[in-house]
Amino acid sequence: MNGVVRITPWKVIVVIGLVMMAMMTPRILGAAERGTGDMGIIIERAQGTVQIIETSNRTRLATIEGLGDLSHASAVFSRDGRYAFVFGRDGGLTKIDILTNSISKRIIQAGNSIGGAISQDGSLVAVSNYEPGGVRVFDSETLELVADIPAIDGDGAPSKVVGLVDAPDQKFVFSLYDGGEIWVADLADPGAPQVTKFTDIGLQPYDGLITGDGRYYLAGLFGEDGLAMLDLWDTDAGVRRVLDGYGRGEEPLPVYKMPHLEGWAKAGNLLFLPAVGRHEVLIVDVRTWTEVGRIPVHGQPVFVVARPDGRQVWVNFAHPLNDTVQIIDVPSMRVIDELKPGKAVLHMEFTPRGENVWISVRDAGEVQIYDTRSAKRIGMLKASKPSGIFFTARANRIGL
């Protein structure tokens, strides 16, 4: 009728219906459209799989297959928490999208790797290698190689690399196990890494940690009692020995499993560290870097981990005493509780604010969840030989 459109009631209903469907569609299709802050992964080491979990309801969301040898696997997260980068013992580097439950990309970058780190701005992922040694650095989006740093010590010999951590200003810090050195690699220009080398730090650095403010890097020494400490604010001062000879004059015990310094604990001005081959946790005052105490514990500690508020420190142990977890009260500096989750407790991870802790119990095939206030078990997930547990809160912490 001369260009006039007649709108009937049924057309109005159809239009309204289409608008409502359009508004509802993102919600209907939005299973992956969620925040990542309460998510994480569990490594299932025996079968090369990873569970994707969320901590709010303590549930498993998915299982990802095809990640190769995960016998000593670790992981870091992209800065938005969406992607997990898993470092496998077979040299595999796998990028997992934890929102779509899929592998974004997987490469074999070396013959034997031992961990990795992600740069301050999230653009670079670095991997430390046993075979062929050295550190390789990749673009976090594409996993394309951007830098290769061979670990050749001062005598011209290749070395295994351990204790790789991220540091401020686009730097990575790591130790040469065979060479007894600490290197700082500046990746401000990824195509031309600038490496500063500190030699003769001590015998066989086996792992390293960086304090949460990114200032101090410490390498534990397997070949002698003590730690090598580098102040990244004052590298001209060189490497300083701390806790030198903490076991001097005492009969050494056989070491059943190397402790993990990346599981160190800091509470206030105190640092709690596992003693190599001893049934003790060492306490260090970080203002002076001197030992201020020791706490006798159940066995040889592997991980010594602080609850996020620093009030408690949880400790697990090496074989054959690996069925136990002890809780240290920081104000009194004594063990106040002991749990028996089962054989082969391998890893502990606190939820971001510390109300719960997740514990992998390999031989029981379980990840057990405890309330940290009462130390009571409140949940459990079945898992195939679980080991490392990694929550996305690590994305916002230096060195994790």
- Alpha carbon 368 to its chain centroid, in Å, reads 19
- The region of weakest confidence among 20-29, 49-58, 86-95, 264-273 is 20-29
**Region 325-346: what's the mean pLDDT?**
97
pLDDT of residue 266: 78
pLDDT of residue 262: 65
Tens digit of each residue's pLDDT (9 = 90 or more) over 61-76 = 999 999 999 998 999 9
**Region 291-299: what's the mean pLDDT?**
95
Tens digit of each residue's pLDDT (9 = 90 or more) over 12-57 = 444 444 444 444 433 433 446 789 999 999 999 989 999 999 999 9
pLDDT of residue 206: 87
Mention every residue, 6+ apart, whose C-beta is less than 8 A from residue 322. 299, 302, 316, 343, 344, 345, 346
The yes-or-no verdict on residue 226 having pLDDT over 70 is yes
First to last CA, the chain: 71
Quote the pTM value: 0.89
Q: Beta strand pairing status for 171-176 and 161-167?
A: antiparallel
pLDDT above 90 coverage of the chain, percent: 76
Quick one: pLDDT band at residue 324, thresholds 50, 70, 90?
Answer: very high
Quick one: pLDDT band at residue 252, thresholds 50, 70, 90?
Answer: low
More confident residue, 2 or 265: 265
* Residues 235, 12: Cα–Cα separation, whole Å: 73
Quick one: pLDDT band at residue 175, thresholds 50, 70, 90?
Answer: very high
Quick one: pLDDT band at residue 263, thresholds 50, 70, 90?
Answer: low
The yes-or-no verdict on residue 4 having pLDDT over 60 is no
- Which residue in this structure is represented by tokens 């119990």? 361
What is the layout of strands, in order, in the sheet containing 92-97? 74-77, 83-87, 92-97, 102-108
